[in-house]
Structure 1
Amino acid sequence: MRRKLFVGTSIVITLMMIAGVFFSLPYYVSKPGIAKELAPIIQVNGGSEGKGSFMLTTVRMGRANIYSYVEAKLFDYVELYPLEAILHETETQEEYNARQLHMMAGSKLNAIEVAYKNAGYPVEYEYKGVYVVQVVPDMPAEGKLQSGDRIIKVDGQKFASSENFIDYVGKKKAGDQIELSVIRKDKTKTEKITVQPFKEDPKKVGIGISLVDDKEIIVNPKVTVKTDEIGGPSAGLMFSLEIYDQLMEEDFTKGYKIAGTGTIDSEGTVGPIGGIDQKIVAADKAGAEIFFAPNEKGSKDSNYNLAVKTARDIDSKIKIVPVDVIDDAINYLQKLPMK
């Protein structure tokens, strides 16, 4: 009898442990990720190598299970977010992942453009089409297009930008049909879709997709940026600095481990990101000595101020440097003494 009770109890406990791992709660959980050196990720043909290193920083984010929920309640720098704080309305997990990867792709393009222009090199773009980021439920594209599709032609025409695509479709009348040439998983297919009014604005028509440009940057010397499955735009600043450093003869790392974060636009403006406190923890664990943080023009609630507070709270010796534009980081590095 005792043996049966023991076996039964063991089975119940095992099932509860399995449920704790695989049962998803209506939350996302984020925690400190890693600080990863950029030199192995970014290669400029003929680029120079520095004595130190630039590092991107990440947070780990995923759907919460019972264990991660408890972890977030017990430990610092582990945060819970309700689903609606992460996913757009009606957005699926697959669409969220696609959105993050496309934001990373856009971040890379901006970073390359900014780095090359700052180093005195010309930059050109080749427009290829648009990527589908999200399909709106109950609109004509549902069931015909999916997140990650690349639209290369509409009614046999190519366009110079996503704005031109939107203008063309928007001039159609409800009930008109358009023919799309779509690439999905390296295979080209044709989809005929009828435009209809948007529920939130019946005066406008469309097929019900959100999209981003698909374009290739043309630079010389060539640059390769391998980001694998890293998503989001927050590595833009550090991408730019690594590329710029490889393009220039001067060593801007000067022997230091330099981490940081922040979005970057095509003009070199550095924008704020989420989870900077967790990124400070990751950078500290990786031995970073300097950390570039978005200053947000001195805002009281800026990423920079939160980074300073976090470094103080965890007793880190990282030097936190505020940046509003990439020139702020470059100017700081130019004045930095060789280690």
Structure 2
Amino acid sequence: MTRQTWTAAVSALIFVISAAVLAMTPVPFVTYAPGATFDVLADAQQPPIDIAGAPSYAATGSLLIASTSVTRPDAPVSLPEVLYAHAAPDREVFPRDVVYAAGATNAEIRSKEVAQLGAAQSDAAAAALRAAGFPVRQVPMVQSVAQTGPAADKLFPGDFVLEIDGVATATTAAVRAQIEKRAIGDPVTFTVQRDLPDGTRGRLSVKIDTTASKTQASLPVWGGNLTMGYSYEPRITFHLDSSLGGSTAGLILALGVYDRITADNVINGRIVSGAGTIDGVGNVAAVGGIKEKLVSAERAGAEVFFVPSGNCADMDGVGSHARIVSVSTLDDAINALDALADPATEGLVKGCT
């Protein structure tokens, strides 16, 4: 073998090794891809939406939560994967620190997503009940409880705080004001409303000894966080796939509850999907991964796909077999489904362009 041949062979080997090392070296990016779908109107032994304390109606059609498959924080991404995702029409690439907080673990991300899904369920139920004409009121609600604090195993997320030491508390500020009147170590009696294991709701008195705040030694605290929750008489229970998380399914969950608690039958045999966060009064906000969610829904046969108006800019140039409908509220989605069912009005339904 000549020297020139050896040189060429060694150069080729170095190139192959370098390319292999480069291909296997993780890069600081996250990829988005179409995920699975979940039908919240599925006719199953355990329905995804269970309603008690109010009339419920059989659903016809499918209402799909469309998901996005996102690289987990502990999963490496190679350069070829990034290049492929950048070129593929149904994938996107984002810097890892844009998607995940620095140092966040898989368990921390999962815990946050589960909490977001729980809040989305509560907000979706409240929005749907409001739209259907049921009374809904805002009440201070336990959002979280410190595992080692004085409220551990006494108060639980989802408890509604009605009174502190017999004084009615209509806001989280009112709860804090009553507690801060006490000296550190003083007992405080919470009157709470709680869903009980037997399916009923109970009014309970819970005594908790205050402790000093870790950030302000002179401030008495009870060992948890509050938020404003929504209280209503019907019991809405969601049985969702454990892989779902986050708040992006809020709009679809609200439509599912509305379809089940009214005789309107707004889904009306169609395959409907979409995405959007929702608050307790029915306002719909933008989400991430909307294009991947659309692809996911289309693969499942979706005929209608709801896009938050705040996401319309993300849909520029995106083609779809499904009817794209832009919405800003739950009422927009309900009215659009009604209009799409009538050939005389379906042309009035607004898309993103």
**TM-score, length-normalised on structure 2?**
0.65
Structure 1 residues 1-339: aligned runs within 5 Å: 27-40=29-42, 41-45=48-52, 46-61=55-70, 62-63=72-73, 65-67=75-77, 70-75=80-85, 76=88, 77-83=91-97, 85-87=99-101, 93-123=106-136, 129-132=142-145, 150=156, 162-167=172-177, 193-197=211-215, 211-213=225-227, 217-220=231-234, 222-229=235-242, 230-296=244-310, 303-307=311-315, 309-310=317-318, 312=319, 316-337=320-341
Where in structure 1 are there 5+ consecutive unaligned residues?
1-15, 133-140, 182-187, 297-302
**Counterpart secondary structure, 2:317:** helix
RMSD: 4.4
C-alpha change, 1:162 and 1:101, in structure 2 (3 Å) is: farther
1:321 partner amino acid = V
1:307 partner amino acid = M
C-alpha separation in 2, matches of 1:210 and 1:81: 34
C-alpha change, 1:196 and 1:254, in structure 2 (3 Å) is: closer
Q: 1:162, 1:211 within 8 Å by CA — same for their partners in 2?
A: no
C-alpha separation in 1, matches of 2:106 and 2:173: 26
C-alpha separation in 1, matches of 2:284 and 2:325: 13
**TM-score, length-normalised on structure 1?**
0.67
C-alpha separation in 2, matches of 1:190 and 1:32: 47
C-alpha change, 1:177 and 1:196, in structure 2 (3 Å) is: farther
Q: 2:29, 2:93 within 8 Å by CA — same for their partners in 1?
A: no
C-alpha separation in 2, matches of 1:37 and 1:224: 15
Q: 1:126, 1:218 within 8 Å by CA — same for their partners in 2?
A: no
C-alpha separation in 2, matches of 1:82 and 1:51: 41
C-alpha separation in 2, matches of 1:68 and 1:165: 50
Where in structure 2 are there 5+ consecutive unaligned residues?
1-19, 43-47, 190-205, 344-353
Q: What is the total number of aligned residue pairs between the two structures?
A: 287
Q: 1:27, 1:64 within 8 Å by CA — same for their partners in 2?
A: no
C-alpha separation in 1, matches of 2:112 and 2:175: 19
Residue 346 of structure 2 corresponds to: none
Q: 1:38, 1:239 within 8 Å by CA — same for their partners in 2?
A: yes
Identity among equivalent pairs (%): 23
C-alpha change, 1:266 and 1:144, in structure 2 (3 Å) is: closer
